[in-house]
Chain A
Amino acid sequence: MTSAQVDVLLVAVVVAAACAIPGTFLVLRRMAMMSDAISHTVLLGIVLAFFVVADLNSPILIIGAALVGLLTVGLVEAVSRTGLVRQDTAIGLVFPALFSIAVILISRLAGNVHLDSDAVLLGEIAFAPFNRFAPFGLDLGPVALWVMGTILVVNLACTALFFKELKLVTFDPALAAALGFSPALVHYGLMAVVSVTAVGAFDAVGSILVVALMVGPPAAAYLLTDRLPRMLGLSVVIGAVSAVGGYWLARLLDTNIAGSMATVVGVVFTLILLFAPPRGLVASVRRRRRQRWTFASQMLLIHLATHEGTAAEADESRPDHMHRHMRWPAEFADQVIQTATERGLVRLDNEQLRLTAQGREIARAAAVR
């Protein structure tokens, strides 16, 4: 690997980790789409701050972006608080408005600066290694790595310091308020972190990947664990793995890196959705099948047990009687009988199904319960 490749991969992993942490709380607070809104509207903050400082590398830009991020949240809440518009609709109203103001401002007044709308959507992480952080002529690596590394450290520190508050406010805001923790303060604090992360990340990877990295990995981690700290850790790992995977996919297909990373996030999520051990779709289908079989075999055993030793036994225990009696399709009835026979619960004896000792035991246990 060349050193430029290492730089791109490092930036990608750090961006993924920085996004996954606030993303976890967004997903748990059912505000995933707020990341979409904020990652776009921060552009307005960047543009406005740029008009003030006229320097694309000024840290003031990040502050401006964070303020507009908070403004987005505030406006969305104000619109939905009227009671006339739902919150998801409010997001759909506020964020295009602020974003399009930014686009108009750029095209009218800042056409000659590097602030184009393509870069906003997909960023260009491939250029990250060329913009070096070199104070006093000392090359310390890409600027993007320093910016995102700082944001990652801030995110980790905030989460570590306010873990208990974030958890409480997310789970039960009413209790939080009653205990004297301001849910609004925690909420806006989180939104400020989301905004700063979005603005830092979107310079490198664009707003689509910011959304993908904030929502995808936590949503996937949520399917894998039921402990919050583990969910945070898994989100970071899934995000980082997707970022690295996406980079190599882009190399393979010779295409846009951020787009490939977002694609891999989607693929990883889909795989986890399908194959997550207890909650995935495959596991659910298998569980339902197993339950259906357990229930069917119990019905068969109880039916045989009920008529065991009675006058009607000869009639009731013929294999071809079962599908009519249980209202099973004939094929399913054959399957149930065959499986029960294989497992030694019943045996066919002179055209009659008879319970084995084990089958009788299971029938009794099932009937008692």
Chain B
Amino acid sequence: MRLRTGNALAVQATDLTLAYQQRPVLWDVDLEVPRGVLMAIVGPNGAGKTTLLRAVLGLLRPAAGEVLVFGRPYVEQRGLIAYVPQRGSVDWDFPTTALDIVTMGTYGGLGWVKRPGASERSRATDALAQVGMQNYADRQISQLSGGQQQRVFLARALVQDAQVYLMDEPFQGVDATTERAIVDLLRALRADGKTVVAVHHDLQTVAEYFDQVTLLNVRRIAAGPVERVFTEENLRLTYGGRVAGIGGQTNGADAAVFP
């Protein structure tokens, strides 16, 4: 596939506003992701992080604003984006194998009706090996640990062979081995010139794992290189003065809309 990537930003969302039943979840948010960076999206619960990813993917229709992927609308650039949803968003009792889940990543390239064949399966097998899960290909997915399930999801994104990887809390509840594997994978992707945007909860590791950060709490509080933006002052603005308490900020959202 020839990539229409040009010199534009990998992802550029402008003035994104989105509400669930009149309650603003994203308020005039800009997201600018240069290509080839690892960007964390950080903010309290209910800050709209998942909503932002889903809006970029066109899964939600924003009330205002637009999203460009390498300078063009998402619909035209679908093949350039891979998505890793939260592990808890699917039913892991579904009757299938790890390899089959990874193969789903190839469906976008196949289009309707056409079935995955030997080449799709071999790409899926390679992707499983990349996340160290080659020995679990035929395992029923409910028999995998949380970390292994997360790695299956990552393999499924890898097999999409995208330019931009949107990940929703890839480190959520994983073991140390998986965390290490994911970090290595993110760096390998960056070395390949790919772009990663990940919702991230652990403030301790933001500086270690990511180059760029967007601080979000319904509005965009700050964005840019970690060393410049990831300051105590900005974190206080994002979390409403409770930097230590990562979760549970319920009215911080309103406070941020009308500071």
Contacts and interface: CB of A to CB of B under 8 A. Distances in A.
Interface of A: 28, 83, 161-165, 167-168, 170-172, 174-175, 177-181, 222, 225-228, 230-231
A163 B59 contact: no
Contact of A174 (B59, B111, B140): B59
Contacts of B110: 164
- Mostly, the A contact residues are helix
Question: Chain B CB within 10 Å — which of A161, A163, A225, A227 has the most?
Answer: A227
Interface in B70-109: 78, 81, 83, 85, 89-91, 94-97, 100-101, 104, 107-108
24 contacts: A83-B21, A162-B113, A167-B104, A168-B104, A170-B94, A171-B90, A171-B94, A171-B96, A172-B89, A172-B104, A174-B57, A174-B59, A174-B83, A174-B89, A175-B83, A177-B58, A178-B58, A178-B59, A178-B108, A222-B95, A225-B95, A226-B95, A227-B96, A228-B96
B112 interface: yes
Nearest to B59: A177
A167 B21 CA distance: 31
A225 B95 CA distance: 7
A327 to B, nearest CB: 32
A270 B193 CA distance: 56
Contacts of A175: 83, 85, 104, 156
B115 interface: yes
Contacts of B100: 167
Contacts of B156: 175
Question: Chain B CB within 10 Å — which of A161, A168, A226 has the most?
Answer: A226
Nearest to A221: B95
A27 to B, nearest CB: 10
Contacts of B90: 171-172
A175 B108 CA distance: 9
A170 to B, nearest CB: 7
A226 B138 CA distance: 11
Given A178-B83, A227-B96, A231-B95, A171 B101 contact: yes
Contacts of A226: 95-96, 140, 142
Nearest to B83: A178
A161 B91 CA distance: 24
B187 interface: no
B214 to A, nearest CB: 20
A164 B115 contact: yes
Nearest to A24: B95
Given A171-B90, A231-B95, 19 more contacts: A163-B115, A164-B115, A167-B100, A168-B104, A171-B96, A171-B101, A172-B89, A174-B83, A175-B83, A178-B59, A179-B108, A180-B108, A181-B107, A222-B95, A226-B96, A228-B94, A228-B95, A228-B96, A230-B95
Interface of B: 21, 54, 57-59, 78, 81, 83, 85, 89-91, 94-97, 100-101, 104, 107-108, 110-113, 115-116, 140, 142, 156
B258 to A, nearest CB: 25
Question: Chain A CB within 10 Å — which of B59, B90, B111, B112 has the most?
Answer: B112
Contacts of A167: 96, 100, 104
A168 B156 CA distance: 12
A28 B21 CA distance: 30
Nearest to A161: B113
Nearest 10 CB-CB pairs, A to B? A179-B108, A226-B140, A226-B95, A178-B83, A178-B57, A228-B95, A171-B94, A172-B90, A231-B95, A174-B85
B83 A227 contact: no
A210 B156 CA distance: 37
Contacts of B96: 167, 171, 226-228
Contacts of A161: 113
B94 A28 contact: yes
A63 to B, nearest CB: 24
Contacts of B101: 171
Contact of A181 (B21, B91, B112): B112
Contacts of B21: 83
Contacts of B78: 178-180
B94 A178 contact: no
